[in-house]
């Protein structure tokens, strides 16, 4: 059994709970990964583990359906019924006899299962796959499927730690809220999808291998790319966005070049066609130490970019 | 006749692959293989092919991308889809192996109408003439679908047109009970194409009946008329074209406007006819 090679898609060491009194299973799992990659905490009883699970949820839960005090399925459901723990990947361990009739996976919401007798290599790869799948799925924005905050922060911090030069751009939309208010959120979502496509395809067209696009949420996006190309990328995003966004307005509003709607105080106000503002922070020669600095600089730049009602970008030139 | 309509509609909407002519496909394939190519260059070439254009608009307006019915420009479609998807569309497009000769006339006619619609839209003072060109390009797509999905009926329509000396449109009604404008309407709705393109596809023979985008239907109607007058390409018959006065009125056109457009089209068709089909 290969115990030294790191599993390919773990970004960091994974903490796993094993709930089982089967010592053979425990020995098998513990021998599969170096504890630098997956560190198992073993509980022989189910009930006692629940509080630990809730207080300090691991990255993976392997639970034996054979537990003497509570069924594995019950524990899985306990975890999955609460949105805070819902994302925690759960692997249920079954006996061959448990497989006689089909399981109702809609009521037992586990992510995968292992069946005795185990094939070691299959068990290893199923768990690796479950962890990879969870990392992919967990942080994606549900609308655009772009990586969300956790991935964004990890990416930025790891580039900072490696002292790698990069440009980090924060994009957001001007007058998105008034568009949403007037046309409704499903048309607002269309705008968010369109913006995501514009940013992703523009960044992809530069072809750099380290490029990254994330969706912070709402109308906020970030992208990371080489400092040499970022200005050109901003220009292209702006040109494309400005050309496409009028198609999402009603013809009459497009003709007017603005929308008229009531604000919170009930006053009639006019809002221009949406625009995109981009604030770009550079990390050159290891200037930044923490991702928090990057986002703080970006937020102050964004204010500057927002003063311009048209699409524009602002570069942080303090290098 | 209702039965034929139901079965034909099913077959039409079930279409998996619209084949195209080899020329444009080869050209686009070369462009897409080169990483230096800009989307603008690809858009220019795809914009000359009704089938590839229809595929791009169908895909970018599909609910998967989350904004159905919004995009009517090929260039915007390409930017939003990205290179990988475009490459996928190109790879999965086959070529007409039979009847290339017969289809060639329709391709020439379609690009002629795209060119003419652009000219008419500009003359009428409309913004975004490129969108009218796309509508013109796609106005006879239903005929391609008939040729591919219903080859026997297609054959019978062509024979009827010849034998009874009818227009292709009338021959379609004779054989099917309805015509390509109806087929276009099914496709455009099924594919979530934007309203202006849908209306031009389904109302270019009866622009006065258009409801929401009358101007697009009228522009394409005029474009179709002009190209048939020049006998550029072939859309299935050799009948004289008709012009609905309502379309001229809707666009605020006098005969002199039409003449100006005809002159401009004459020049541009020379360039278009240099294209290899």
What distance in Å separates the CA atoms of residue A277 and residue A46, rounded to the nearest whole number?
52
| CB of A198 less than 8 A from some CB of B | yes
> pLDDT-based confidence at B101, cuts 50/70/90?
confident
Cβ of A143 within 8 Å of Cβ of B71? The answer is no
List CB contacts (< 8 A) between B194 and chain A: 247
Tokens of A286: 């290891």
Contact of A199 with chain B, judged by CB distance below 8 Å, is answered with no
Percent of chain B with pLDDT over 70: 97
CATH number at residue B249: 1.10.3210.10
Considering the segment(s) A14-137 as one domain, its CATH architecture is 3-Layer(aba) Sandwich (3.40)
Closest CA to A31 of A121, A114, A98: A121
pLDDT at B274 over 90: no
Question: How confident is residue A16, by pLDDT bands cut at 50, 70 and 90?
Answer: very high
Residue of A144, A188, A193 for testing the chain B interface, max B β-carbons within 10 Å: A193
> Angle at the Cα of A98 (from A93 to A104), degrees rounded to 5?
90
CA distance B250 to B254: 11
Q: Is B245 found in the same domain as B123? A: yes
> Which residue range is the domain that position B198 belongs to?
2-16+104-272
Which ipTM was obtained for this model? Answer: 0.87
Q: State whether B245 and B168 are in the same domain.
A: yes
- The answer to whether B72 faces chain A, any CB pair under 8 Å, is yes
Say what the pLDDT of residue A87 is. 85
Q: Where are the domains of chain A?
A: 14-137, 149-315
Residue ranges of alpha helices (H) inside chain A are: 23-32, 46-55, 72-80, 120-138, 149-161, 176-183, 185-204, 230-244, 251-256, 291-306
Same domain, B258 and B135: yes
The pLDDT-based confidence of A136 (bands split at 50, 70, 90) is confident
State residue B277's pLDDT score: 55
Whether B141 is in a domain gets the answer yes
Which residues make Cβ contacts (< 8 Å) with residue B36, sequence separation at least 6?
none
Q: Note whether B193 contacts A: Cβ–Cβ < 8 A.
A: no
Between B97 and A21, residue with greater pLDDT: A21
Q: Are B92 and B34 in contact (CB under 8 A)?
A: no
Instruction: Say if the Cβ atoms of A190 and B66 lie within 8 Å.
Output: yes
pLDDT tens figures, B140-177: 999 999 999 999 999 999 999 999 999 999 999 999 99
Contact B79 A240 (CB under 8 A): yes
User: How many domains does the structure of chain B reveal?
Assistant: 2
Partner A, chain B 4-43, Cβ-Cβ below 8 Å: 35, 39
CB contact under 8 A, A207 and B35: yes
Residue B17 has a pLDDT of 82
Looking at the fold, whether B168 and B257 belong to one and the same domain comes out as yes
Question: Does B34 share its domain with B129?
Answer: no
Mean per-residue pLDDT of chain B? 91
Q: What are phi and psi of A312, to 5 degrees?
A: -160, 170
Are B172 and B211 contained in the same domain? yes
B65 touches chain A (CB under 8 A): yes
Which residues in chain B are closer than 8 Å to A207, comparing Cβ atoms?
Answer: 35
DSSP letter at B165?
A: T
What is the Cα–Cα distance from A224 to A167, expressed in whole angstroms? 6
Please enumerate in sequence order all residues whose Cβ is within 8 A of that of A122, keeping only pairs 6 or more positions apart, or say none: A114
Q: Do A198 and B80 touch (CB under 8 A)?
A: yes
Q: Are residues B87 and B145 in the same domain?
A: no
β-partners of residue B49 are none
How do strand A60-64 and strand A90-94 relate by DSSP bridges?
Answer: parallel
Stretch A140-163: mean pLDDT: 91
pTM score, two decimals?
0.85
Query: Do residue B66 and residue A193 have CB atoms under 8 angstroms apart?
Result: yes
Find out whether B171 and B178 touch, Cβ atoms under 8 Å. no
B110 & B54 share domain: no
Domain presence at residue B99:
no
Q: What is the dihedral of CA B64, B66, B67, B72, to 10 degrees?
A: -30
Element (H, E) at A276: strand A275-283
pLDDT at A191: 98
- Residues in chain A with CB shorter than 8 Å from the CB of B72 are 247
Give all strands of the β-sheet with A112-115 in edge-to-edge order.
A38-43, A14-19, A60-64, A90-94, A112-115
| Secondary-structure percent of chain B, ordered helix, strand, coil, rounded to 5 | 70, 0, 30
Q: How far is the alpha carbon of B129 from chain A, nearest alpha carbon, in Å?
A: 14
According to DSSP, the β-strands at A275-283 and A212-217 are: unpaired
The DSSP output letter for A109 is: -
Residues B113/B137, Cβ–Cβ less than 8 Å: yes
Query: Of all helices (H) and strands (E), which one includes residue A213?
Result: strand A212-217
| B125 in reach of chain A (CB within 8 A) | no
pLDDT at A3: 46
d(CA A199, CA A192): 11
Mean predicted confidence (pLDDT) in A292-302: 89
B50 and B110 Cβ atoms separated by less than 8 Å: yes
Closest alpha carbon to B39 in B71, B101, B7, B86? B86
Rg (CA), chain A: 25
Place of tokens 């050799």: B238
- Shared domain for B26 and B155, answered yes or no, is no
Structure-token pair, residue A317: 């030139």
Helix, strand, or coil (residue A167): strand
Same domain, B44 and B160: no
In the prediction, which pLDDT does B229 show?
Answer: 93
Q: Are both B43 and B145 inside the same structural domain?
A: no
> What does chain A come to in residues?
319
**Encoded tokens for A247:** 């198609």
Our CA-based measurement puts residue B66 at a distance from the nearest CA of chain A, in whole angstroms, of 6
Q: How close are the terminal C-alpha atoms of chain A, in Å? A: 50
Closest-CA distance of chain B to residue A197, Å: 5
Domain boundary among B94, B118, B153: B94
- The last residue of one of the domains, among B94, B117, B145, is B94
Residue A10 pLDDT grade (very low, low, confident, very high; cuts 50, 70, 90): low
Q: What would the pLDDT profile of B103-140 be if each residue is shown by its tens digit?
A: 889 999 999 999 999 999 999 999 889 999 999 999 99
Q: In this structure, is residue B67 part of a structural domain?
A: yes
Which overall architecture, per CATH, does domain A149-315 show?
A: 2-Layer Sandwich (3.30)
Do strands A268-272 and A258-262 pair parallel, antiparallel, or not at all (unpaired)? antiparallel
Of residues A144 and B277, the one with the higher pLDDT is A144
Tens of pLDDT, residues B236-248: 888 888 899 999 9
B70 touches chain A (CB under 8 A): yes
Half-sphere exposure of A39 (CA within 13 A, CB side): 6
pLDDT, tens digit (0-9, with 9 covering 90-100), for A50-87: 888 988 899 999 999 999 889 999 999 988 888 888 88
Residues B261 and B231 in one domain: yes
Asked, for residue B79, whether it belongs to a domain, the answer is yes
CA proximity to A212, closest of A159, A286, A276: A159
Q: Is residue B277 part of a domain?
A: no
List all residues of chain A from 249 to 268 with a beta carbon under 8 Å from chain B.
none
Residue B80: closest C-alpha in chain A: A197
Q: Is the confidence at residue A273, as pLDDT, over 50?
A: yes
Judged by a CB distance cut-off of 8 A, whether residue B82 touches chain A is: yes
Answer left, alpha or beta for residue B158, where phi above 0 means left and psi between -120 and 50 means alpha.
alpha
The SS3 of residue A74 is helix
CB pairs under 8 A between A and B: 46
């Amino acid at each position: 059994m290969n115990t030294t090679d790191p599993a390919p898609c773990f970004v960091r060491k994974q903490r796993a709970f094993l709930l089982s009194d089967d010592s053979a299973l425990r020995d098998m799992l513990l021998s599969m990964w170096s504890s630098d990659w997956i560190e198992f905490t073993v509980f022989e009883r189910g009930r006692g583990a629940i509080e630990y699970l809730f207080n300090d949820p691991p990255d993976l839960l392997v639970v034996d359906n054979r537990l003497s005090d509570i069924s594995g399925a019950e524990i899985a459901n306990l975890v999955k019924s609460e949105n805070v723990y819902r994302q925690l990947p759960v692997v249920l361990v079954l006996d061959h006899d448990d497989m006689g009739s089909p399981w109702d996976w809609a009521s037992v919401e586990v992510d995968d299962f292992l069946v005795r007798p185990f094939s070691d290599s299959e068990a290893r790869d199923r768990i690796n796959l479950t962890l990879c799948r969870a990392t992919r799925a967990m942080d994606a924005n549900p609308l655009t499927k772009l990586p969300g905050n956790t991935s964004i922060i990890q990416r930025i911090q790891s580039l900072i730690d490696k002292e790698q030069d990069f440009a980090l751009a924060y994009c957001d939309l001007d007058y998105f809220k008034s568009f949403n208010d007037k046309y409704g959120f499903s048309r607002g979502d269309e705008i968010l999808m369109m913006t995501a496509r514009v940013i992703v395809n523009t960044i992809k067209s530069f072809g750099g291998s380290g490029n990254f696009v994330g969706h912070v949420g709402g109308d906020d996006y970030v992208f990371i790319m080489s400092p040499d190309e970022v200005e050109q990328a901003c220009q292209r995003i702006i040109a494309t966005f400005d050309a496409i966004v009028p198609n999402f307005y009603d013809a009459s509003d497009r003709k007017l070049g603005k929308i008229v709607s009531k604000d919170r105080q009930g006053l009639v106000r006019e809002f221009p066609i949406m625009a995109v503002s981009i604030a770009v922070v550079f990390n050159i020669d290891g200037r930044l130490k923490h991702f928090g600095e990057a986002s703080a600089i970006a937020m102050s730049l964004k204010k500057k970019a927002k003063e311009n009602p048209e699409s524009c970008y602002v570069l942080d030139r303090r290098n | 006749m209702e039965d034929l309509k139901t079965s034909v509609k099913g077959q039409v909407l079930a279409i998996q692959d619209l084949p195209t002519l080899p020329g444009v496909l080869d050209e686009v394939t070369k462009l897409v293989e080169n990483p230096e190519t800009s989307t603008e260059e690809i858009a220019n070439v795809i914009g000359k092919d009704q089938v590839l254009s229809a595929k791009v608009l169908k895909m970018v307006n599909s609910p998967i991308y989350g904004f159905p019915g919004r995009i009517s420009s090929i260039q915007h479609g390409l930017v939003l889809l990205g290179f990988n998807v475009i490459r996928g569309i190109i790879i999965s497009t086959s070529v007409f192996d039979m009847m290339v000769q017969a289809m060639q006339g329709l391709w020439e006619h379609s690009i002629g109408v795209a060119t003419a619609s652009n000219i008419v839209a500009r003359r009428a003072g409309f913004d975004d003439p490129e969108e009218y060109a796309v509508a013109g390009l796609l106005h006879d797509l239903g005929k391609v679908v008939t040729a591919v999905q219903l080859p026997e009926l297609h054959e019978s329509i062509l024979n009827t047109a010849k034998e009874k000396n009818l227009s292709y449109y009338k021959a379609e009604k004779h054989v099917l009970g309805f015509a390509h404008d109806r087929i276009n309407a099914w496709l455009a709705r099924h594919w979530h194409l934007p309203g202006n393109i849908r209306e031009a596809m389904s109302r270019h023979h009866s622009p006065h009946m258009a409801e929401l985008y009358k101007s697009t239907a009228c522009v394409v109607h005029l474009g179709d008329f002009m190209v048939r007058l020049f006998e550029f390409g072939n859309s299935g018959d050799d009948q004289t074209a008709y012009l609905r006065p309502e379309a001229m009125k809707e666009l605020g056109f006098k005969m002199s406007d039409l003449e100006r457009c005809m002159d401009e089209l004459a020049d541009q068709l020379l360039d278009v006819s240099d294209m290899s089909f």
